[in-house]
Amino acid sequence: MLTPPSLTTQRTWEIYPRPIQDDIAKLTQAGCDVLFNPDVTEMYADNEKWHLAIGELEGLLEGEFRPGHYRGVTQVVFKLFDIVKPHPAFFGQKDYQQVLVITQMVKLLNMPVKLVMCPIEREADGPAMSSRNIHLTADDRQHALILSKTLNNVKVNFDSNHIEQLIQDAQAAINNEPGVKLGYFEIVDGDTLHPANKNTKNVVALVAATVGKTRLIDNVIIR
Amino acid sequence: MLTPPSLTTQRTWEIYPRPIQDDIAKLTQAGCDVLFNPDVTEMYADNEKWHLAIGELEGLLEGEFRPGHYRGVTQVVFKLFDIVKPHPAFFGQKDYQQVLVITQMVKLLNMPVKLVMCPIEREADGPAMSSRNIHLTADDRQHALILSKTLNNVKVNFDSNHIEQLIQDAQAAINNEPGVKLGYFEIVDGDTLHPANKNTKNVVALVAATVGKTRLIDNVIIR
């Protein structure tokens, strides 16, 4: 998902890695028939100042670190759905919160689209695949392994009676890794993003950290 | 338009005059085939906290006096259009700003509906017809005449070189009327609600005032 140029994310749009020729080659190879690839001026009128506020979900976790980000996402995804009118639409689990936010938008606005969450694709040694990974130096790449490793540890050792301890240990492990600055590591209710407790049905662990100069996110569905 | 029970307008919903049997009789007489008359629980989920922010228009004039009001309006009109799927939809000019706000929503969200603004219906001596008029005492009713009278004066004597003076005189006339507390009297661009100047193409004068205990709005399209 390209980040749209809302007031708060204009800069992100411009520095986002956009190897569109590579994407087109991959899409062609995968048998894609049609690509919708508008430029900014096709999607946005000048000085377009509106947003949909979908409620609490947009302000938690990533929303705290990137205020307004998910309002840019819902705005551009609303436009995308309105233009393309997809029956199903596929979003990656890697931005788990984005999936929740778009799900909430679709529900609130009663949009005629079925959302499908696609599992995270990982490198052989663990890290979630991401267009941002090209920004990582070889050293960054090594340090970044702590994120997927810690998520996996939490999943394997999950014990709903000791969630706080699991979180603290995970945060400590990441903080101890050189070159890694932890944003958050949380174990939450997978529907509300509120802290999980022993009665929580759907549990997800989410992490955000800056490795070198690159901010990465990852998550794992625990149950 | 019934005011929806958003967080900021719950009270308004409850005290709104709702002579629904009278309305039904009038609709029947007018040849209405179908009435959509849901109750609150049909229109709103519990604890429904979202809104569409359509930009500057919602915060001016009425928006300053009733923060959040037009977010409640766009929310419920969005739902109405989504449920009813009208081809045309009719809104009264008396809440001129409401027409602009809904027009902006329809444009931004590319909704398949044609909006029609219906002229203000007036009593023989001037006042705009309003469900709120039943709250006026006989004295209030007399004092309220100043609103339509002043609007009419501004229209008849409009001179685009002396807009400031016209506004000041109108405000003074209303302030001098016993029992009337002026909210605002403005002469604005009918598309943006920004102050009109001599080059403004569409000019509208808008007034809000509390007469006795009842807040009234009225307006006139000048050109």
Report the pLDDT value the prediction gives residue B29, as an integer from 0 to 100.
97
Cβ pair A50:B50 closer than 8 A = no
**A108: three-class secondary structure by DSSP:** helix
**Average pLDDT rounded to a whole number, residues A86-111:** 97
Q: Which of B50, B54, B55 sits opposite A108 (nearest CB)?
A: B50
**Average pLDDT rounded to a whole number, residues A201-208:** 98
Nearest C-alpha neighbor of B186 from the set B216, B220, B141 = B220
Instruction: Work out the pLDDT band at B8, boundaries 50, 70, 90.
Output: very low
Which residue is closest to B45 within chain A, CA to CA?
A: A108
Of the listed ranges A90-99, A178-187, B6-15, B178-187, the least confidently predicted one is B6-15
Q: Is the pLDDT of residue A50 over 80?
A: yes
Task: State the nearest Cα–Cα gap between B198 and chain A, in angstroms.
Answer: 25
**A197: three-class secondary structure by DSSP:** coil
Instruction: Work out the pLDDT band at B17, boundaries 50, 70, 90.
Output: low
Residues of A in contact with B52 (CB under 8 A): 50-53
Instruction: Considering only CA atoms, give the Rg of chain B.
Output: 18
Q: Is the pLDDT of residue B102 over 60?
A: yes
CA distance B34 to A154: 58
Q: What is the ipTM of this complex?
A: 0.78
Residues of A in contact with B56 (CB under 8 A): 49
DSSP bridge pairs for B188 = B195, B204
CA distance A86 to B205: 45
- Chain pair A-B, CB pairs under 8 angstroms: 30
* Alpha carbon A221 to chain centroid, angstroms: 13
Cβ pair B110:A56 closer than 8 A = no
Question: What's the DSSP call for residue B86?
Answer: -
**How wide is the angle at C-alpha B36 spanned by C-alphas B50 and B27, nearest 5°?**
135
Report the pLDDT value the prediction gives residue A125, as an integer from 0 to 100.
96
DSSP β-ladder status, A214-221 and A203-211: antiparallel
Q: Which of A50, A53, A110 sits opposite B50 (nearest CB)?
A: A53
Residues of B in contact with A78 (CB under 8 A): 109
For A40-49, how does the pLDDT look when each residue is reduced to its tens digit (9 = 90+)? Answer: 999 998 888 8
Which residue is closest to B108 within chain A, CA to CA?
A: A50
Cβ pair B54:A50 closer than 8 A = yes
**Average pLDDT rounded to a whole number, residues B85-94:** 97
Task: State the nearest Cα–Cα gap between A62 and chain B, in angstroms.
Answer: 19
E runs forming strands in B54-145: 88-92, 114-118
DSSP bridge pairs for A204 = A188, A221
For B112-160, how does the pLDDT look when each residue is reduced to its tens digit (9 = 90+)? Answer: 999 999 999 999 999 999 989 999 999 999 999 999 999 999 999 999 9
Secondary structure (DSSP) of A41-102: HHH--TT---EEE--GGGGSTHHHHSTTHHHHHHHHHHHHHHHH--SEEEEEGGGHHHHHHH
User: Maximum CA pair distance of chain A?
Assistant: 52
* List of domains in chain A: 5-118 (3.40.50.620), 131-221 (3.30.1300.10)
Report the pLDDT value the prediction gives residue B48, as an integer from 0 to 100.
85
Of the listed ranges A1-5, A76-80, B83-87, the least confidently predicted one is A1-5
For B28-68, how does the pLDDT look when each residue is reduced to its tens digit (9 = 90+)? Answer: 999 999 999 999 999 998 888 899 999 999 999 999 999 99
Q: Which of B52, B70, B101, B192 is best to mutate for the A interface (most A CBs within 10 A)?
A: B52
For A123-163, how does the pLDDT look when each residue is reduced to its tens digit (9 = 90+)? Answer: 999 999 998 999 999 999 999 999 999 999 999 999 999 99
Task: State the nearest Cα–Cα gap between B43 and chain A, in angstroms.
Answer: 12
Instruction: Work out the pLDDT band at B177, boundaries 50, 70, 90.
Output: very high
For B154-172, how does the pLDDT look when each residue is reduced to its tens digit (9 = 90+)? Answer: 999 999 999 999 999 999 9
Task: State the nearest Cα–Cα gap between B51 and chain A, in angstroms.
Answer: 5
Amino acid, single-letter form, for residue A136:
L
Task: State the nearest Cα–Cα gap between A216 and chain B, in angstroms.
Answer: 29
